[in-house]
Amino acid sequence: MFLSNPAVAELEPYTPGLSREFVSRKYGVPLDDVAKLGSAENPLGPSPLAKAAVEAALGRIDLYPEWTAAPLREKIAQTYDVHPDQVVCGAGETEILSWIIRVFAEPGGKLLMHSPTFPIYHLFAGAEGRQCVFVPMGGDFDFHLDRFIEHIAGDVRVVFLTRPHSPTGKLLDDADVRRVCEAAGERLVVLDEAYIHFTETAGGIHLVEDFDNLIVLRTFSKAYGLAGLRIGFGITRPHIALPMLAVKPTWNMGQLQVAGGIAALDDHQHVSRTVSMIVEMRDYVAGRLGALNSFRMIAGSRSNFFLLEILDTTLDSTKVFNELLERGVIVKDGSVSFHGLGHRYMRVDVSLRKHMDRLVEALAEIEPRAG
């Protein structure tokens, strides 16, 4: 076997959330009763405006799209009051992350991130022969920003910040992002705001005007409900956006993605309904989980997921993960999905009330068996 990077043979691939269909077949749970709480998808479905636009664009799928997704870039620029040359579009945020690592960190160059963090950062880095520097979070997953900034040194080339953070859902404020950008100097800072809508804040795109070393990433997969369409974008300065075109697949964004993304940006009603439901259910499930003895929600999530700690030492995340599957509940096992998280935590989506109830009732069934 001939590999440009031998480490690839030993890397574990990303572990996505299981499908409802798989759990229904394996455990005999009716499909409609399966609570899928492991992929942070939109429980209200896709943006209706985007869905209609995709259907209308079906007649154009015989045609190559504009290679930089110019119509979508122009709509994003208009929406966020930037120039189209500041916008890059990819097949989800994850594709853009791969370009960033390839363009802004040389082989052997270092990437700085918190631990735990979104696994795609270090999986892509390992595949490209780059090195990761992990800065552990503090008690109850405090960001320990002073310690994080101390590691912005030497041959660190790219600094990753996730806002809100995955898997905890905790939110860095603008002042902290500014501190990191200032400390980074000529290093690139990647502000990943995939879940920013659920924080009910404007996010950090406005900071691009102040810092020429910052790129802010967004996705259409979450609040817009277009995970299956694969649309992401970044907003930055032109001198950062332009080099990424050299590694971007020529036609990475198809006609349907461009049409759906343009329409979704105008679907404020769908986003508002989604965010309102998530915020309400986040508080609701926090209250219900408070009645359990073996589990606790890590406080402070501002996202559409939260971190659940397993307090009973006779249980671990893999055991609870499997017990939940038998009851038709899909979550993320922290020991599998997040570097440095260990066996005491699971990431759980916020979803419809019936799914939150199913989660809590399943955990309550598991809990007595620990004693």
DSSP letter string over 248-263? S-TT-S-HHHHHHHHH
- What pLDDT is stored for residue 337 in this prediction? 82
Chain-centre distance of CA 362, in angstroms?
26
Rg (CA), the chain: 21
List residues bridging with 346 in a β-sheet: 308, 333
For the chain, domain boundaries = 6-45+269-366, 48-267
CA distances from 21 to 18, 249, 337 (A): 9, 32, 21
- What pLDDT is stored for residue 370 in this prediction? 41
pLDDT < 70 stretches in the chain: 1-4, 8-12, 14-15, 368-371
Neighbours of 165 (CB within 10 A): 25
- What pLDDT is stored for residue 2 in this prediction? 61
Could you read off the pLDDT of 189-234 as tens digits, one per residue? 999 999 999 999 999 999 999 999 999 999 999 999 999 999 999 9
- What pLDDT is stored for residue 320 in this prediction? 97
Q: Taken in order 111, 113, 115, 117, is the CA torsion positive or negative?
A: negative
- What pLDDT is stored for residue 73 in this prediction? 98
CATH architecture of 6-45+269-366: Alpha-Beta Complex (3.90)
**Which CB contacts under 8 angstroms, 24+ apart, belong to 117-122?**
117/160, 117/162, 117/165, 117/166, 117/338, 117/339, 118/160, 118/162, 118/166, 118/192, 119/14, 119/15, 119/337, 119/338, 119/339, 120/14, 120/94, 121/97, 121/160, 122/339
CATH number of this structure's domain 48-267: 3.40.640.10
Q: Enter the pTM of the model.
A: 0.95
Stated length of the chain = 371
Tell me which amino acid residue 368 is: P
- What pLDDT is stored for residue 371 in this prediction? 43
Could you read off the pLDDT of 173-194 as tens digits, one per residue? 999 999 999 999 999 999 999 9
- What pLDDT is stored for residue 322 in this prediction? 96
Give 1: exposed, middle or buried? Use CB within 10 Å, 0-12, 13-18, 19+. exposed
